[in-house]
Chains A and B, each alone.
Chain A
């Protein structure tokens, strides 16, 4: 009896110490967050410092101009840093010219203004959109923004960078700490057991109890086991069943590539595109709406945006510690955009396609076997299934991986549980009415609609 309670105590001690350690790790991460928040505050402050017209100008610039203009580089239109001063110096054009130009550039080209025509011809005869809604004050704000020295992102990046570095190492320490503490606990436990045993022996000797050495007379336990055929049989059966269970489990995962996350030729981050920028999945994977393939977007789709997004500065506060630990710096992402330019043959300097393209050889992640037919449009358009249902939290995936097992059991299960979206679809009107009468239900699962038949997917 005593021993039993004693053992209980040991486990209690163990459990409590574990809880203590877990709690301590949580607090460690909590500290992380505090640091990050501080970093955010730090980055915000210099931006605030600019203030005044330029701040409004910046937002107006981002709303209206940024699609075609950057401050320090040519895009669809010319670079706009210090545009007012530059025009005044080089061309002798005043603000009034700029007002007219911004409000009605096609008109100026039509009227044959010399510089307007020159600019028009220089930029592939792509006329600038007229902005009649912008007031002169707005334009002043924008010009103030273009005249102000561009904010130095280096400062902003540096602050969290330092914090990130120290935090990165501290999180490493916490892991080691945890392991060390565990080792310590085990050490203590062993020591305690040993000492308890020693104490008991001493008490025994002191009390003069002699322990009879019965072991030699008794049959060794394994011999007794071997002699008991029933036990052997039962054990063998259990062993066999157990190994069969595991063998089956192992074999069933053959060819199941759940979690498959190959390295792609271009590090494309769904986290940034679908997560941070909230780009709708089907904007790029447009064929999912009408085809069986979701389709890997062709590079011209990328260029819809990346013609103007030539560098990565998605996180104004700089990359997070985690990103930095993985090497996902802004420069890294910008480098990936350059890879896209190389593949599609985009000459950044002249804002022109060179015509020398090199298709990107993506590694296919979701490989359904050829004998299984799957149609995206059926699920996405007709079934109105979210992409995430099968592909998982793509918007959180820095590196895309296979979220679902894509096994037949997984398909079938969903077909059993999911209701068909019959509302507002005339195709289903009659069959829904008849089937729901037959089965006596209001809603129909895919299976009840015949979605478990072999021939629906295998032909």
Chain B
């Protein structure tokens, strides 16, 4: 039974003698209010010049002054439009379909605007390709209002106007054309038909134009492998919903692997339907989001992953290769092999190792299987970066061949491992321009910093996947004197067209095939499947237009590529090379990108900085993840200090002579022994507020654009203070928080067995806890009764909901120091629980079978293994927000009735009534109430976004901004439910199922969070509530929550 398992949130909990954990379990507020600090210290008291009488005088005066000041209301001005725009009604939100394409994140989205201000990102449900809006996309609206943005073009750090810049750049381009020097464009991935066409046209205007696409985090190996096999620089698309078996070798496809956006398809396949769900086996080094969701996870260093892939291919092929895997890995691989043979076309294999051989073999395996989930015909274009071209460009710059360098959307001085070389080359470039929204490492060294538009101020288009187009439209006028790269390029080409006209022209010629432009703009997406034939035709006619920009034959770099292509990548050679792989001398470093930070573009976004990593639950930092065994060997530890904060050792990492020091260490359960992990994207300093300068820059170690590096790790002195929320708000050690079972039990046994309702004693008889209550029930059968369903199977822990909640509800950012003191304000947290592998039974069996002291079954090593559940734990994610209990413990203890229950099931919080006793937070079994320890808005102590006029523009006008001293918590987005009801009342109609949404439920593209009215018997939520998998959190407490969960089912049945 599921309840036999031991769950733990932190390494420290496994140690029964850890007093801190115990204290944290018992105390709601980890730090007592420091009254003793000033009252207990007699000397300080005596030393002070303020005596009691003075104090009373001051008190009296300030009270009188405050009350006098309160008598006079301020004069508030109301300024209407002179000419009101037709589509703006003050107080009514408008939604616009647009697209984010910042080189790292690509998604079709809706933008909610109020009075012309974009305030929220929503998913565009019309979009069929690419994923939903992830946490970074959700947060990107705040980056628009970043007060550190570039507010106008600069030359050598001094403000200039665009005319000057235009003249200078045009002259430089002219000079380069005359001298025959290179005009280099170093840009992000656009995947944009119009931009490709524009750059082609720019090339056609003459001169030696070299367009190089550069991704900070490269997927060069995958695109190269795909190119050599299918002739196009792209990725195969995968639809994990169609796969019954997913085998992944280090591919973090629920996060940013190959551009990301695979999670919703994955989640759909993970919910058991008719007794079936997909099975997911993950071989990986770092504990990734994907690994955390796997049914079977094998910690394996990249070297062994390569061997495993080679073996897998060989076995499927009927041949054999060398190389050896150890114990569990080999066993799992054999199992996987059998399963693949059984599932055949229902299986899919993916890998995230930056190695052309690996990617080639993976493509070959999927091809061989005829995998249904694998789609190379309509590939994705979300990464176009070409590592060779970038290196060649840096070499060209250093040899003085480059006359003009124009950059857009890239920050090579920060992200290039050989930034110093780049800088040296830049000095030899005659004129350099960098388009950037922020002042950064690159704008610092270029001649001109061209202030660029945020994507919400820009026009654009995107072909995320072949045949799937989307449009980007501005949702606000440029806030500053900025310009987008494409517009500027048009101007430099001497065209008087606007980029908008240019896109329209491109689309009407090549994309729309007679479809309506306005309709497409309104929908935001255009599915060209119907128009596909036309597409192919136009491509044939005008090849350079629609295909990616790298296939031109002009530059020398391309020739190099062609040579590789012509030789092809031989599968046999690849297999041989993989099977023979060995790691270097040191450990293997696996560089990855965090869900919250990505490649670091949005490092100055406070929402993202405060977003706790799904796995480590650490915010405001990156760190090196080390396995427990390695950590012990190197003497590195994590420990919790008295205020609940986590501390850790520092490490020094050295790759090929490049070393970074003082990298904080997190001991990561499940990290493959012999490997360490480090997130890219942190450590930005230039142009950033001091609070935002967090973490260390890992890009210098990202050598050769390879995410696997041989590294030597050593401990360095000092200790690091983390802002880690993993021990915060524990549920007082009460059980029945996570319920999980295996697919086999789920299919064969009665639900009472795997979804056990806790029993309580009533009149000396055991009865189900749900049947007993202290309170009388209210009649909730009339009107709406809101419930929320959270499916633990569909939730991948991605955290888009957390940021969506932040944006919708004006949740303040509190900063690293406050988070460390357990004062984070997230209304919605995603708890991450580790559990020891499988069950205690298997441990028992193991113990019984001990034979002798040493050896395979020896008790010496065996007991050690048993004692070390952290080696490879199972992970469960559980989003927890206010459970809106029908019998809410918080409501009964509030002395001022500030929190009360609504008829529609919402537990309501009247901030203006709250006096801040915090009794409710103490009495809440779920620990979802947050206290405003400080005034977080208009307070320069909290220099994030709520203290400046620009940052405040993101605030949702329908929700209060809370003040100091009040409790706040999830309201179940009452402003949204009320809005839905009002709309229906005004139209005089009933509310359809699916109309009721909360910020989190609409942000969840995985379908894990469903919201609705259970009194509507036809609704999805009513159906979900009747499911056998349904359970309430801490049912035994008798709170009767309106949020319910679905038992997590793991497909551990090996075929």
Contact = CB atoms under 8 A, between A and B. Distances in A.
A322 interface: no
Given A300-B82, A381-B986, A364 B76 contact: yes
B959 A296 contact: no
A427 B988 contact: yes
Interface in A235-258: 254-255, 257
Contacts of A377: 982, 986
Nearest to B901: A453
B77 A363 contact: yes
A352 interface: no
Nearest to A438: B782
B326 interface: no
Interface stretch (B42-50, B88-96, B925-933): B88-96
Interface stretch (B271-279, B514-522, B725-733, B907-915): B907-915
A459 interface: yes
Contacts of B71: 254-255
A456 B913 CA distance: 14
A269 interface: no
Interface string B47-77: 0000000000000000000000011010111
A168 B735 CA distance: 85
Interface stretch (A34-42, A94-102, A210-218, A286-294): A286-294
A459 B975 contact: yes
B919 to A, nearest CB: 17
B985 A371 contact: no
Interface string A276-302: 000000000001001111011111110
Given A300-B84, A438-B782, A371 B76 contact: no
Contacts of A345: 82
A426 interface: yes
A92 interface: no
Given A375-B982, A454-B913, A459-B908, A298 B80 contact: yes
B989 A427 contact: yes
A262 B961 CA distance: 28
Contacts of B960: 370-371, 458-459
Interface in B559-586: none
A194 interface: no
Contact of B900 (A369, A426, A454): A454
Interface in A363-390: 363-364, 367, 369-373, 375, 377-378, 381-382
A425 interface: yes
Contacts of B629: none
Interface in A51-73: none
Nearest to A301: B84
A314 B904 CA distance: 53
Contacts of B92: 287, 290-291
A300 B779 CA distance: 51
A299 B974 CA distance: 35
A255 B68 CA distance: 11
A124 to B, nearest CB: 18
B79 A257 contact: no
Contacts, number: 156
B906 A455 contact: yes
B77 A362 contact: yes
Interface string A431-457: 100110010000000000110011110
A290 B898 CA distance: 31
Contacts of B779: 438
A166 interface: no
- Give the size range of A's interface with the partner: 35 or more
Contact of A287 (B70, B76, B91, B978): B91
A293 B91 contact: yes
A453 B91 contact: no
Contacts of B994: none
What does DSSP make chain B's interface, helix, strand, loop or mixed? Answer: loop
A359 interface: yes
A381 B988 CA distance: 10
A409 B978 CA distance: 22
Q: Which of B89, B978, B985 has the most CB of A within 10 A?
A: B985
B84 A298 contact: yes
A292 B989 contact: no
A343 B910 contact: no
A360 B77 CA distance: 9
A357 interface: yes
A457 to B, nearest CB: 9
B971 interface: yes
B73 A362 contact: no
Contacts of A373: 958, 975
Contacts of B989: 426-427
B908 A458 contact: yes
B988 A424 contact: yes
Given A362-B78, A373-B958, A434-B782, A455 B974 contact: yes
A428 B91 CA distance: 25
A137 B73 CA distance: 63
A262 B913 contact: no
B73 A257 contact: yes
Contacts of B910: 371, 454-455, 458
A455 B902 contact: yes
Contacts of A299: 80-83
A363 B76 contact: yes
Interface in B754-794: 779, 781-783
Interface string A324-348: 0000000000000000000111000
A48 interface: no
A52 to B, nearest CB: 45
B991 interface: yes
A90 interface: no
A158 to B, nearest CB: 38
A361 interface: yes
Contacts of B782: 431, 434-435, 438
22 contacts: A255-B70, A290-B986, A291-B89, A293-B91, A295-B91, A299-B82, A299-B83, A359-B82, A360-B79, A364-B76, A373-B958, A427-B984, A435-B782, A450-B902, A453-B900, A453-B908, A454-B898, A454-B900, A454-B908, A455-B900, A458-B909, A459-B960
List the 8 closest pairs (A to B, CB-CB), nearest first: A455-B908, A291-B91, A298-B84, A298-B81, A293-B91, A364-B78, A371-B912, A357-B82
